[in-house]
C-alpha cells in the first residue's frame, strides 16, 4: 500500500514546527529572491513565530532567519516529516 503524502502550505505550520519544502509556486522575480535567501525544494524550514494581527512569519532555513508575509508563505508548499 502506498503512503499518502499530505502536502501543506508554510502558513499552516505552528511555531516550533519544521517541514521540508516541496514546491515554490511564485512568479520568477520572487522565486529568484527566495532562492537567494536559501529557499530550495528539499530544504528544511522551521517556523519560528507569527506576528500578531495577521502580520508576517519568521522562518529559519539553516542559519538564516527570514521574515515573509503570509501571502508569500502561502505560495510555498511543505511536507511535515
Partner 1 sequence: MKRVALLGMPNTGKSTLFNRMTGGAARVGNWPGITVELLSGKILFGGDMVELIDLPGIYDIHGFSEDEQVVRHFLHGNVPDLALIVLNATQIERQLSLLLQLKQYNLNMVVLLNMADEAKKFGITIDTKKMSAALGIPIFLLSAKYGNGYQEALQAVTKALRYNTPGMAEELRSQLEQEVHIESEMARVLQHAVQVPARLPDNLTTQLDHLMLHPWLGLPIFFGIMYLLFQGIFFFGQPLQIGVGDLFNWLREVAFAPLVASLPALLQGLLLDGIYNGVATVAAFAPIIVLFFLFMAIVEDTGYLSRAAFLMDALMARLGLDGRSFVMLLMGFGCNVPALMGTRVMRSRPLRLLSMLVIPFSLCSARLQVFVFIAAALFAPRAAALVVFSLYLFSFAAAILTALIFKRHFPNSEPFVLELPPYRFPTLRQMVLRGWHEVYHFIHRASKFIIIGVVFVWLLTHLPTSAVPAGPDTWAGHIGAWLKPLFEPIGITAELTIALIFGFVAKEIVIGSLAVIYGLSGQALSGALALQLDWVQAYSFMLFTLIYTPCLSTIATLRSESKNNGFMLLSLGWSLALAWVVSFVFYQGARALGY
**If binding is defined by CB under 8 A, does position 72 make contact with partner 1?**
yes
**If binding is defined by CB under 8 A, does position 74 make contact with partner 1?**
no
On whether the CB atoms of residues 37 and 30 are closer than 8 A, the answer is no
Chosen residue from 8, 22, 24, 58 binding partner 1 by CB under 8 A: 58
* Residues with Cβ within 8 Å of residue 17, at least 6 apart in sequence: 46, 47, 80
Interacting residues with partner 1 between 1 and 40 (CB under 8 A): 26, 29-30, 32-38, 40
- What does the alpha-carbon distance between residue 11 and residue 81 come to, in Å, rounded to a whole number? 16
Chosen residue from 49, 77, 79, 80 binding partner 1 by CB under 8 A: 49
Amino acid at each position: 500500500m502506498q503512503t499518502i503524502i499530505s502536502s501543506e502550505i508554510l502558513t499552516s505550520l505552528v511555531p516550533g514546527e519544521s517541514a521540508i519544502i516541496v514546491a515554490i509556486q511564485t512568479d520568477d522575480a520572487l522565486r529568484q529572491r527566495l532562492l537567494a535567501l536559501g529557499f530550495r525544494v528539499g530544504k528544511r524550514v522551521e517556523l519560528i513565530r507569527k506576528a500578531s494581527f495577521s502580520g508576517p512569519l519568521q522562518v529559519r532555513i539553516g542559519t538564516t532567519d527570514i521574515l515573509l508575509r503570509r501571502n508569500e508563505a502561502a505560495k510555498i508548499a511543505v511536507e511535515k516529516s
